[in-house]
Structure 1
Amino acid sequence: MVAAPKKAVSGAKVERLPLSRFTTLGVGGEAEVWTVSDHEQLREAMEASYRILGGGSNLVVADAGLGERVIRLGGEFAETDLEAAPDSTPEHFVSGWVGGGVPLPGLLRKLRGLGLSGLEGTVGVPAQVGGAVWMNAGTRFGEMFDGLFELEIAAPGGVRQLSPSDLPWGYRHSAIPRNHIVTRIRLKLSRSTPETVGAKMEQADLARKGQPKMRTPGCAFKNPGGVSAGKLIDEAGLKGQQIGQAMISPEHANFIVNLGGAAASDVHALLALIRQRVGIQMELEYELWP
């Protein structure tokens, strides 16, 4: 019998919940979920083994769930300050703090309305800000670090603030350790117009037209050596391949979709099949829990 979740001393909300509720793929068993609103609650949540859950994209959670607690950012970590900071210039806008729990699509809509350019290449990424920075999410049109000025990271040892130059970041990678949480960021963006920013976003969004609209974690594999992972999977004859209720999308072979009622085990089986049939080393974009 699973023990009832403890009551947090700090006031954090603690519930035992199915993680399928929070993932874009819609699979995953139960875990103890801590929703934290400030640094005091976050410190308490980090006192035991934990994982951080953002928008739930790029994530496949085991059917059995997790023994670790799962932390979600709310409260002050879900607030957005887009007032111009004193270190802004006529050419560049520097923001106040934007919480790691802020949904990235909503942030992009606000930047478009303000005519602030630099993150258009991340349009369509269904992530929260913290997770998008942690993996340097993006598309071929741009990535999170393009507009990053400063970030705040929480770890069991405390909170620190860094600049992007403090991290060896790159393609879908930021070098932020796994147990560190991006709690807030500040942006540095070019001043433009809503029309120009909107046009850039529409160009990036147009490139996504061939992507599936069904439940999916996103791209399964990173492009190896600049070669399209989707093209390699397609050439292996795997488009439309189905195991259980999970399928390699007929629209784009680097996406696995949930047809309704898929299990994490179905997705793992498809990933293993892809690796076997493609025959070259490919690195996952998905996070696999546990």
Structure 2
Amino acid sequence: MTVSALGTRVERQPLARYTTVGVGGEAEIWFVETLDGLHEAVQAPYRIIGAGSNLVIHDSGVPERVIRLSGPLAKADLTPDPGLSDPVNGLIVTGWVGGGTPLPGLLRKLQALGWSNLEGTVGIPAQVGGAVWMNAGTRFGEMFDGLHTLEIVTPQGVRHITPDDLNWGYRNSDLPRNHIVSRVRLKLQQSTPEEVQARMTHADDARKGQPKMKTPGCAFKNPGGVSAGMLIDRAGLKGEQIGQARIAPEHGNFIVNLGGATAADVLGLLRLIRGRLAPALDVPLELEYEIWPEEAAADLR
């Protein structure tokens, strides 16, 4: 371990430890706790990693430093902002929520408070910053349903923007690759703990058929609104295996790590799916996964 000029802890570690699928080679990781530390970290080529869901990292790792938000940048101030909230109409705008805050724990706190708007993201194993960057969600809702303000960090400095400043949409925030979501303010609606729990349970029940093994999540976006999982199932690809990676028998749009899978195994299955499905589609078959480095899967874009 080393320490940067501003006191940030820096370690070289396997990135597989920080992905939900459990693959990925080594990189230099910066565990950043402050905005000053973040400004220091982005002065050299970098990438940002959160919970590592929807992410497949090459077996050789990446050459750039990898930034992981921690400390105060991984905590949430849910105190309603009196200047932005509207209690009469049940509108709550929170204090700053760090981009490194685990989304599942945040949702539990919102449910206990009876604050609504983000129930549709239940079950997503992400940190807030990553969930915002890709507008993570389900058919029951997405991150941008509950955003008021985004704090964005780049090598050029810090900016505060709103969702109206972005052309966001399905699984897309419109934020460029080198923009880090350091903190956000949430825009929530007063409800009751019981009503919020009921909506979370309804959304979570719809996910019961998804695999419980190590996985990056859904592999492909639904092309033209048609279920990618259904198309993969119809193509007879469920259960196909390369090395220790398998197309999940429970849901065709998930690839799982059976134990000891490599990134090469996962990428091989993605190419198998694309090769089988893409020629018959009238719209592009787009990856939902982020691949590091990008050139490792240029043929999948």
Q: For this structure pair, what is the TM-score category when the shorter chain's length is used for normalisation? A: over 0.9
Question: Which region of structure 1 is more displaced relative to structure 2, 34-43 or 193-202?
Answer: 34-43
1:282 correspondence with 2:285: yes
Answer yes or no: is 1:55 the counterpart of 2:33: no
Q: Within 2, Cα distance between the matches of 1:148 and 1:23?
A: 25
- List aligned pairs for 1:91-170, cutoff 5 A: 91-170=90-169
TM-aligned CA deviation for residue 50 of structure 1? 0.5
Instruction: Report the 3-state secondary structure (helix = DSSP H, G, I; strand = E; otherwise coil) of the residue aligned with 1:96.
Output: strand
Cα RMSD over matched residues? Answer: 0.8
Matches of 1:266 and 1:78, distance apart in 2: 32
Instruction: Give the Cα separation in 2 of the matches to 1:66 and 1:145.
Output: 30
Q: Which residue number in structure 2 is paired with residue 227 of structure 1?
A: 226
**Residue-by-residue CA offset, 1:82-121 (whole Å, 9 max, x unaligned):** 1111121122111000000000000000000000000000
**Any idea what the Cα deviations from partners look like across 1:121-144, whole Å, max 9, x if unmatched?**
000010000000000000000000
> Which of 41, 44, 52 is the matching residue for 1:45?
41
Structure 2 runs not aligned, ≥5 long: 294-301
Show the counterpart of 2:85: 88
Cα distance in 2 for residues equivalent to 1:101 and 1:130: 6
Q: Which moved more, 1:90-99 or 1:217-226?
A: 90-99
Q: Deviations over 1:53-72 (max 9, x none)?
A: 01100000000111111000
Name the amino acid aligned to 1:247.
Answer: R
1:28 alignment partner AA: G
2:48, 2:68 within 8 Å by CA — same for their partners in 1? yes
Q: How many percent identity over aligned positions?
A: 68
Residue identity in the other structure for 2:23: V
Q: Which residue of 2 aligns with 1:25?
A: 21
Q: For residues 289 and 265 of structure 1, what CA distance do their matches in structure 2 show?
A: 12
> CA–CA distance in 2 between the matches of 1:70 and 1:133?
18
Matched-pair contact (CA < 8 Å) for 2:248–2:256: yes
Alignment of 1:209-228 (within 5 A): 209-228=208-227
CA distance in 2, matches of 1:54, 1:237: 34
Report the TM-score when normalising by structure 2.
Answer: 0.94
In structure 1, distance between residues paired with 2:55 and 2:132: 15
Task: Please report how far the alpha carbon of residue 76 of structure 1 lies from its aligned counterpart in structure 2 after TM superposition.
Answer: 1.6
Number of residue pairs matched by the alignment: 286
Shift of 1:79: 1.5
Amino acid at match of 1:109: R
Quick one: distance in 1 between partners of 2:232 and 2:288? 15
Tell me whether 80-89 or 209-218 shows the greater mean CA deviation: 80-89
Q: Which moved more, 1:101-110 or 1:274-283?
A: 274-283
Q: Specify the code of the residue in structure 2 equivalent to 1:282.
A: L
Counterpart of 1:207? 206
Moved over 4 A (4+): none
Which string of whole-angstrom CA distances, capped at 9 and with x for unpartnered residues, describes residues 207-243 of structure 1? 0000000000000000011000001111110000000
CA–CA separation in structure 1 for the residues paired with 2:174 and 2:2: 33
Query: Could you tell me how far 1:39 is from its partner in structure 2?
Result: 1.1
Residue identity matched to 1:38:
T
Query: Which residue does 2:296 correspond to in 1?
Result: none
Look up the equivalent residue of 2:139 and give its one-letter code: R
Tell me the residue number matched to 1:71: 67
Whole-Å separation in 2 of the counterparts to 1:92 and 1:48: 40
Q: Secondary structure at the match of 2:68?
A: strand
Per-residue deviation at 1:7? 3.7
CA deviation after TM superposition for structure 1 residue 44, in Å: 1.3
Q: Shift in Å at residue 6 of structure 1? A: 5.8
Output the CA distance in 1 between the equivalents of 2:96 and 2:40: 23
In structure 1, what is the Cα distance between the partners aligned to 2:38 and 2:142? 27
**Unmatched 5+ residue regions in structure 1?**
none
1:193 aligned partner, one-letter code? T
Q: Which 10-residue stretch deviates more, 279-288 or 187-196?
A: 279-288
